């Protein structure tokens, strides 16, 4: 494993070996069964290309009323617990006693992308965010703490884990595109990103 630091983002390349990646997909299967992926709508009524769901006490949702954390899936049931295998990654890389309240599961199918944004729906930005990449390669773009300016891009591959803390926590970022079919981890292709956050 190698670690690269770009604008305060620590990216652990190859943190998860193939066996660990496969295990994560296995533990995600019951999560996706009880909390199916849905396509969020922005407040302006546009559908996002990324499909999402969550585990934990808090899940991120977006609809015509805006975006926010909710204690339940849009279909009504509470979110499933964050699998222990995923919490282990958080413990290992952050060393924190406090565990994340939320594990956002983003699924990128062919052509999906995520525009540049800041993550600021959480109460305390002093906690880091941990992100796990699984499946197809993704071109990740990192900007600045204000919108605009020069950006840097890096490919995230299956098994990479990124930790965003300190000033990087409020950096603008997005996913320009994925290389659909570049990984064989997911039978139907695509990319899953797990994002662990302390929300309250
Ligand atoms: C930098 N997800 O869900 S992960 C998101 O690959 C999100 O699905 C992207 O941005 C994805 O909000 C990028 C890397 C990431 C995640 C959270 C961050 C970068 C971050 C929070 C603060 C700063
Ligand atoms: Fe984000």
Does residue 164 carry a pLDDT above 90? yes
Give the mean model confidence (pLDDT) for residues 119-133.
Answer: 96
User: Closest by alpha carbon to 87, among 31, 35, 141?
Assistant: 31
3-state secondary structure (DSSP) of residue 168: helix
Look up the pTM and report it: 0.97
Atom 22 of ligand 1, residue of closest alpha carbon = 169
Mean pLDDT for the stretch of residues 4-19:
96
Say yes or no to pLDDT of 173 above 90: yes
Q: Whose CA is nearest to atom 4 of ligand 1?
A: 131
Angle, helices 84-94/18-34, rounded to nearest 10 degrees:
130
Q: Is 175 in the pocket of ligand 1 (CB under 6 A)?
A: yes
Residue 29: predicted pLDDT: 98
Confidence at residue 43, expressed as pLDDT on a 0 to 100 scale:
86
Confidence label for 137 from pLDDT (cuts 50, 70 and 90): very high
Mean pLDDT over all residues of the chain? 97
What confidence tier does 200 reach under pLDDT thresholds 50, 70, 90? very high
- Ligand 2 centroid–CA 95 distance in Å is 22
Q: What is the largest CA-CA distance in the chain?
A: 43
């Amino acid at each position: 494993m190698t670690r690269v630091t770009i604008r305060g983002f620590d990216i652990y390349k190859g943190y998860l070996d193939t066996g660990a990646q496969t295990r994560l997909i296995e533990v995600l299967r019951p999560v996706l069964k009880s909390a199916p992926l849905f396509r969020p709508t922005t407040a302006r009524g546009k559908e996002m290309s990324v499909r999402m769901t969550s585990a934990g006490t808090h899940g991120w949702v977006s609809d015509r009323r805006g975006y926010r954390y909710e204690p339940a899936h849009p279909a009504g049931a509470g979110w499933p617990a964050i699998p222990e295998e995923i919490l282990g990654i958080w413990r290992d890389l952050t060393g924190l006693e406090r565990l994340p309240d939320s594990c956002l599961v983003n699924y990128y199918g062919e052509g999906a992308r995520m525009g540049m944004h800041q993550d600021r729906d959480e109460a305390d930005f002093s906690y880091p965010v941990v992100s796990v990449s699984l499946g197809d390669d993704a071109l990740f773009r990192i900007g600045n703490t204000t919108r605009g300016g020069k950006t840097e891009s890096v490919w995230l591959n299956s098994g990479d884990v990124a930790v965003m803390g300190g000033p990087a926590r409020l950096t603008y970022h997005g996913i320009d595109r994925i290389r659909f079919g570049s990984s064989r981890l997911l039978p139907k292709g695509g990319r899953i990103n797990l994002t662990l956050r302390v929300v309250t």
